[in-house]
Amino acid sequence: MKGITISMEVIFLAIIITIVFLVYTMASPVIYSMQAASVFEQTQSFMLDLDEAIQEVASQGKGSRKSLHVTMGAGDLKLHEDIDTVKWTLETDSMIVSPRSMQRIGNLVVGSNLDVRAYENQSLSAYVLENQHLIIYLKKIGSEGSPAAYNTSEILLDIYNKDLGIWLDLERLEISIDNNPQSASGTGYTEIVTKGNALARGQVKAHMNTDYVFLNNYTVTFTLESGADFMIIEGEEQF
């Protein structure tokens, strides 16, 4: 009888342990998601307080100071002096914020997969799209009020691959309609869609007014997505 009793207890204990393990396994993703959301909310609150403190110090003039207590539960907080930005990043599988979405709260930008910069390099007369993998240089041509003559082969100037540490060997990129060389030339301009940092995507549009009889006006959009190591090129008829 003692042997039977011991066996029954061992079996019962094994069942209990299995049930607890299953419950823990099922609950872990939910717990992790709640923890990530809590850290996110706390950090967002801190960043708003930080912005308020910066505005206050700036309004008081040179030599003003203010102290803030920082407690980071997780994530990485960095100061980017070159773009005057304080950036906090958290890698998580939890869907706290929709991918490639962005929300502005005053000076605070909140979003997911926001690593694109879109800006103008005046010395090169170029628009620049940059993320963690690539830096793409696109020629600044004319303007909406003052279109200029150009060929589509002039638009893409250069691409630098950060991962490889090299400039890509680009012989030529020419965009045409129906493979007709006449459609690659005309008058128009290029423009950067949205300038700034921490963008979901950066885009430069090239507007072309050509003498090609079948399609007089069209637009070519160059897009660099957050986290992408390639550029998207799309063309559409312009009405």
Tell me: the pLDDT tens digits for 117-154? 999 999 999 999 999 999 999 999 999 999 999 999 99
Most confident of 110-114, 173-177, 201-205: 201-205
pLDDT at 185 over 90: yes
Tell me what the mean pLDDT of segment 63-79 comes to. 74
- Specify the residue for token string 């403190």: 53
Domain boundary among 94, 111, 128: 111
Share the mean pLDDT of the chain: 80
- pTM beyond 0.75: no
Domain boundary among 55, 87, 111: 111
The answer to whether 160 touches 131, Cβ cutoff 8 Å, is no
Q: How many domains does the chain have?
A: 2
Residues of the domain holding 125: 116-237
Indicate whether 139 and 75 sit together in one domain: no
Judged by DSSP in three states, 135 sits in strand
Beta bridge partners of 137: 128, 158
The answer to whether 133 touches 201, Cβ cutoff 8 Å, is no
Tell me what the mean pLDDT of segment 200-228 comes to. 90
Most confident of 12-21, 52-61, 87-96, 217-226: 217-226
Tell me what the mean pLDDT of segment 95-124 comes to. 78
Domain boundary among 52, 83, 111: 111
- Report CA-CA distances (Å) from 209 to 137, 142, 184, 229: 22, 12, 10, 31
